[in-house]
Structure 1
């Protein structure tokens, strides 16, 4: 007679004790208050800096003539060709002015909000790139004041904002207290729009994500056609963005991690629920089988 008994089986862990993994996208999200203060602070510094760059009227027009000559030397297409296409319809040119006045900043804010909520790792990367490009633009505004082509007599272009409306600028640039009209280079309208498109393409996996490039393309047509910027303003903005993207890299693997983070978390949660159910069933079966085993041992 063998008096030894089998070791007691470990009791299954209760389902409530099984921890469900949190979504990876939530874990990496930076504090909201800090981000709000940081973004608002950067915007205030930029606006104040633009105002400090104001008042260099003579230098701004000298630089405008230089830029106009450089574009002709480089055989860039005339800005007038784009404006001529817009001026065929009062409705089209009015829409272009509206786009210039209302889309630029709200679209960038919406982009940052979406990235913060859905792709936090991409958000940190995009915010750093935008801050770097904006800082570089501010430095150029301070050192290279530039009158836009709508104010340059040699360009022969129409100030579509003043003629057709709406406009964000005063009729007299030298006394405009709301905006610095001598900060044409680089074009942050185009630089920010291009970063929005690049950021969304990097952060999403849809086959249609390349259509986001229509935003900077339309922005380019608008800023040139309304005579608010030269081609070189957009080219310089692209170069600054390229440098920023080369220096500030998106963390490796961030795209795959965030794009499927919520799906992976849901699958892990379902597996945890299934494991809890199976553990409970296995525990009941073990108790039923232990009765005959103990009876046999006593015999």
Structure 2
């Protein structure tokens, strides 16, 4: 018994349309991978989530040239923005007086005594001046290189912590200009760079006119040194290296106070920025940065946590 003419006509029309479009009528819009598994068409958002999920499961370090360019451009932008903040001297002096009074209230205002005491030991304070001017660059870059070479699976996430921390600091520089202790009008602190004619500081001497001298809150010497110290402590294998990692931010704290470049509370601000950086990276990578796998090609280190809502497995 024949089928109605209308049905044959509709089938013929579908077949003709399928031939024109290069598709087979009657099949769904799926594709098969070389292994034979069905791959369902995804929206751009789902595809992005899939790529991010895959990167978390098999994290890989960025290409070297890309990373060098990223770090160079990021530091250039950091310096540009930091130094472009208006140097509001009156407001910065007011803020420094407020911080100094608060520290007196808290009973921790001992920076001036430390500054004068260490300044009396010439070799020590001169060494601290050079330490302050140079070491935060050398150590930070060294830790980045070590991470890139020895911990490729953790590099991008740990570097992200540093970038976020620094970005938050720029907000602090803009909205809370603060005169460092050595520049307080009636603070009685000693500017050790000027007194000992030490080379290297952009905050005193000949370089002062090209640097924002009121970008003291938060202290990135502390933020960066603590980032380095924690990274070394959690990832280094030798005990003495881990101890040095923990000692580094403590020595840096003594240096920034002795040279009158920061208050104690500036250091607290730097630590808060770093904490936010770690928490932000935890949200991005869904794991603490030091718990990510060391190398992406190690099967024993692939057990990363991925949110259930991001699991796009399709049942057969």
In the TM superposition, residue 55 of structure 1 has moved relative to its aligned partner by 2.5
Kept in 1: contact 2:194–2:205 (CA 8 A) = no
Q: How does 1:242-253 map to 2 (within 5 A)?
A: 242-249=275-282, 251=287
Out of 44-53 and 73-82, give the one that drifted further.
73-82
1:258 lines up with 2:294 in the alignment: yes
Q: How does 1:31-46 map to 2 (within 5 A)?
A: 31-46=63-78
Corresponding residue number in structure 1 for 2:265: 232
Corresponding residue number in structure 2 for 1:279: none
In the TM superposition, residue 128 of structure 1 has moved relative to its aligned partner by 0.4
Partner SS for 1:183: coil
Kept in 2: contact 1:54–1:182 (CA 8 A) = no
TM-score by length of structure 2 reads 0.69
1:29 lines up with 2:61 in the alignment: yes
For 1:96 and 1:40, the matched residues in 2 are separated by: 27
For 2:292 and 2:84, the matched residues in 1 are separated by: 43
Inter-CA distance 180–114: structure 2 relative to 1 (3 Å threshold): same
Larger radius of gyration: 1
Partner SS for 2:128: helix
In the TM superposition, residue 255 of structure 1 has moved relative to its aligned partner by 5.1
In the TM superposition, residue 62 of structure 1 has moved relative to its aligned partner by 1.1
Corresponding residue number in structure 1 for 2:245: 212
Aligned length: 239
Unaligned runs of 5+ in 1: 1-25, 265-299
For 2:183 and 2:290, the matched residues in 1 are separated by: 45
1:73 to 81, 105, 126: 105
2:133 to 78, 94, 101: 101
In the TM superposition, residue 161 of structure 1 has moved relative to its aligned partner by 0.6
TM-score by length of structure 1 reads 0.73
Partner SS for 2:232: helix
In the TM superposition, residue 169 of structure 1 has moved relative to its aligned partner by 3.3
RMSD over aligned CA atoms reads 2.8
For 1:256 and 1:169, the matched residues in 2 are separated by: 37
Unaligned runs of 5+ in 2: 1-57, 301-316
In the TM superposition, residue 85 of structure 1 has moved relative to its aligned partner by 3.2
For 1:130 and 1:87, the matched residues in 2 are separated by: 32
The one-character-per-residue Cα deviations of 1:40-82 (angstroms, maximum 9, x if unpaired) are 1111111111111132111111111111111112211410232
For 2:109 and 2:238, the matched residues in 1 are separated by: 34
